[in-house]
């Protein structure tokens, strides 16, 4: 559906402004795709970034953007939450790796790496070696699956 919403801003207390909008009926589209057995598969991110502590938000964004620029998919926790709850979300995301940014990683300009689908010790990667180190971590994870 397509429509004009010129009066919407003034109705909610703002200045009048021209506006247009549309609706696609996503629920119907999803139901039709599922009925046709053409529903897209969920794709787990390569990594899920967890952060905690003073000043870590901006650093976490920089880490995730660097990995995304290199072609990796990265989920990132949005909002508050304890470290434990964030790690639970990382695990349930299906990601191979949790990337951890805390105050100590921020100061040292590092990222901690924890494999979620294999038994391996947690370790750190220097920020200037992030892409190379993450590529190696993903290769190890894929080798374990085969």
Asked whether the predicted pLDDT for residue 27 surpasses 90, the reply is: no
Asked if 64 contacts 49 with a C-beta cutoff of 8 angstroms, the reply is: yes
pLDDT given at position 140? 86
Show the beta-strand stretches assigned E in 59-144: 74-76, 97-101, 110-115, 123-126
pLDDT band at residue 43 under the 50/70/90 scheme: confident
pTM of the predicted protein model: 0.72
Nearest in space to 47 (alpha carbons), one of 89, 2, 108, 5: 89
Q: Percentage of the chain with pLDDT > 70?
A: 95
Question: What's the pLDDT at 47?
Answer: 96
Give me the domains of the chain, ranges plus CATH numbers: 2-35 (no CATH), 47-145 (3.40.50.800)
Encoded tokens for 86:
């964030």
DSSP string spanning 4-65? E-TTHHHHTTS-----EEE---HHHHHHHHHHTT-PPPP---SEEEEE-STTHHHHHHHHHH
Residue 24 scores a pLDDT above 80: no
């Amino acid at each position: 559906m397509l429509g004009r919403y010129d009066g919407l801003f003034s109705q909610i207390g703002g200045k009048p402004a021209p506006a247009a909008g549309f609706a696609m009926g996503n629920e119907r589209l999803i139901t039709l795709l599922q009925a046709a057995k053409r529903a897209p598969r969920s794709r787990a991110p390569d990594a899920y970034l967890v952060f905690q502590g003073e000043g870590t938000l901006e650093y976490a964004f920089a880490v995730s953007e660097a990995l995304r620029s290199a072609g990796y998919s990265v989920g990132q926790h949005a909002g508050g939450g304890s470290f434990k709850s964030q790690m639970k979300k990382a695990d349930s995301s299906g990601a191979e790796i949790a990337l951890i940014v805390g105050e100590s990683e921020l100061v040292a300009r590092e990222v901690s790496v924890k494999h979620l689908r294999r038994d391996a010790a947690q370790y750190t990667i220097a920020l200037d070696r992030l892409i190379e180190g993450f590529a190696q971590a993903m290769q190890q994870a894929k080798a374990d699956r085969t």
